[in-house]
Structure 1
C-alpha cells in the first residue's frame, strides 16, 4: 500500500488505523511536480497492491512510472466521486503562457486543501481498501466514519478562524484556491505559475506594481522552493512574510498529519493577514 504525498497519506493512514501502515513515496521537501524515487521506494512501489495519488495533473513523474508496468492498482483520487473540483486560475500570473503552467489540465490538482474534499476522498479510500481487503472492510468503514466527523469539525474550526480576513496577499504559486474558496480569503497574485521556474524580469516588475497598487502587506513563500524571490519583492516594503507548506513537508507522516497541516496553514494565514500590524 503506497501513497504519493503526505496529505493523502494521512487520509489513508487514518482509514487503515489499527490494520497496517501505508508507505509514503514523496518525502520531505520534494515537489510532486518533479521528483525522483529512491531505489528502496521503487521496490516498495513495485511490490505494492495499490497506489493512491492525486493524478497526472500533480504527480507527473508518477504517471510515467505507473505506465512502465507497475502491477499496483492505480487510484487517482482526483477522480473521487463527490469532489468539488475547481479549474486552474493563475491569479494574474503571466510569466508563462497557459500551455506551460503546471496546472495545465482542466482541474486545479490541490484538491486536499478542502476538508470537504478530504471527507469524500476518505470515504472513497475506505471503499477501495474494502474491495482489496474484504476481511477488514468493516474496520475501514468504521475508521472512515470517525474520520468524517473529525474532518467536519476541522472544517468548522478553520471557518471560524479564517472567515472575515479581508487583506489581499501574494502567494508563491497558486496552490490554495480550494482553501481560499471555502473560507473566503482574498489572494491578489501569484509570484509564479510554475514553481520550478523563475519568473522573468517583466513579470517581477508587474508584480512590484501590483503589490504597490493594492498595498499588499503579506507575502507567502513555500519551503520546497527558493525564498529569494520573496525577499526581493519585500525590499523597501512594510510587509509581512510567512511560509505556507501545502504538502506538510516537515510533518511526521501518520493519521494526524492532515489535521496538523490544515491547522498550520490556517495559522500562517491568520498571523500574516491579522489586523495588528
Structure 2
C-alpha cells in the first residue's frame, strides 16, 4: 500500500497559492467547507480526477460500487463539481489543497484542463503523480478542420445523404466554414488537439488502460485488483462498441448535428459525419452557422437536432422549427445530469449515458420524429 508522504515545501506552496487565489477571487469563500475538504485516509491511495469521464474510468479500475468502500485500496475524488462544465471552470482555493493532499492526479489531457497548469506548478512536488489518460492516443488536430474546409472549396454538391460522398467519414466534419461571433476554431477553450476522446469507446478503453497502469505503478500491491477491475470494465466498453458498430452500420456516411464541436472521435469511429452549431458551449452562433445547420438537416433528411444537457436546447428550437424537426440530446459527458433519484457509480453512469446517446442518435437518423 502506498503511504502518503507530504513534503513541507509542497504544503507551503499550496497554502501560499490558496491565499493568492482567495485574494484574487472576491466571490470565493475564504474558508474550505467540510464538504469540500478532502478526506485524509492514510491507508488509502488518494486519487484526484478532473471531471466525469476520468472519474468514471478511475472508479471502475478502483472498484467503486463493486466492494464496500472500506475495502477499497484508493479513494477517488473529483476536482470539478459535477454540474460545472470544464470549458469555463476557474480554479478555487480548495482545489490547491485537494491537489496538495493527493497521491495521484488523473486528467484527460490533450490540453482540455487548461486550468490545471498553474495549480500543478504551485503544488506539485516529487510525490504527486500526474497521469495523462490520453497518452498514446492519436489526436484529431484543429488544423485538420482547416484542411477539411479547403477540400470543400470546389463547391457544395450534396447528394441526398448530405456529405456522404465527400469522404468525410474519415474526419467527421462537413464542409462549412464556421463563422462564430466569438471567433474561429482557434477560440476553443482547449489547445490545438480535440480532447473529446472519451466519447469513442475504443479510445475510452485506452484511457482505462492508462489509468490502470498508473494506479499499479503508484500502488504495486494492488496490481491484481486494478488489473481485474480494469479487465471487467474494458469488457463492458468492448460490448458497448460492438453494439454501436452494429446499430450504426446501416447509417454509414450519414450526418448528424450537435450543439457544440465534441463528437468527431465518435463520428470517425462509426463512419459518420458530424456538423455542429458552435465551437464551444458558451459561444453564440452567427447567422451563417444557423443557415448551414438548416441546409445540413434538409440535405441529410435528419429528423432531430442533438443538443446537450444544461439548457442549450433553446438555441436549437428556432432552427428546428424552421427545418421541421425536433430537438433531442447527445450528452458529451462533460457534466453529470439527472439520474432519476438512482444511486449510480460514475462508471455505470458513463455506460448508461452512452447507450442513451446511441438511442437518441438512432432516432435522429430514423424517419420517425421521436
Q: Partner residue of 2:314?
A: 228
- Secondary structure of 2:130's counterpart equals strand
Q: Does 1:76 align with 2:76?
A: no
Spell out the pairing of 1:43-192 with structure 2 (5 A cutoff): 43-55=97-109, 57-71=111-125, 72-79=128-135, 81=136, 83-88=137-142, 89=145, 91=174, 92=176, 93-95=178-180, 96-105=183-192, 107-165=193-251, 167-187=254-274, 189-192=275-278
TM-score, with length taken from structure 1: 0.87
CA RMSD of the aligned region, Å? 2.4
Within 1, Cα distance between the matches of 2:228 and 2:358? 28
**Pick aligned residue for 2:325 from 217, 232, 239:** 239
TM-score, with length taken from structure 2: 0.67
Please tell me whether the aligned partners of residues 216 and 239 of structure 1 are also in contact (alpha carbons under 8 angstroms).
Answer: yes
CA 1:118–1:34: 2 relative to 1, 3 Å: same
Offset at residue 194 of structure 1 (A): 2.4
Q: Which runs of 5+ in 2 are unaligned?
A: 1-46, 64-71, 146-172
Within 1, Cα distance between the matches of 2:223 and 2:323? 56
Within 1, Cα distance between the matches of 2:352 and 2:307? 19
Q: Partner residue of 2:347?
A: 255
Please tell me whether the aligned partners of residues 244 and 358 of structure 2 are also in contact (alpha carbons under 8 angstroms).
Answer: yes
**Pick aligned residue for 2:74 from 20, 24, 30:** 20
Please tell me whether the aligned partners of residues 171 and 219 of structure 1 are also in contact (alpha carbons under 8 angstroms).
Answer: yes
Within 1, Cα distance between the matches of 2:199 and 2:300? 26
Task: Name whichever of 2-11 and 34-43 sits farther off.
Answer: 34-43
The count of corresponding residues between Structure 1 and Structure 2 is 273
Q: Partner residue of 2:5?
A: none
- Secondary structure of 2:258's counterpart equals strand
Q: Which has the higher contact order (CA 8 A, sep 6+)?
A: 1
Within 2, Cα distance between the matches of 1:61 and 1:224? 22
Task: Name whichever of 143-152 and 209-218 sits farther off.
Answer: 209-218
CA 1:87–1:7: 2 relative to 1, 3 Å: same
Spell out the pairing of 1:20-39 with structure 2 (5 A cutoff): 20-37=74-91
Within 2, Cα distance between the matches of 1:211 and 1:233? 10
Spell out the pairing of 1:2-13 with structure 2 (5 A cutoff): 2-13=48-59
**Pick aligned residue for 2:285 from 195, 199, 202:** 199
Q: Per-residue CA shift, 1:210-264, capped at 9, x if unaligned?
A: 4445554321111235332111212233202111111151254433222223212
Q: Per-residue CA shift, 1:2-21, capped at 9, x if unaligned?
A: 11121121111111114334
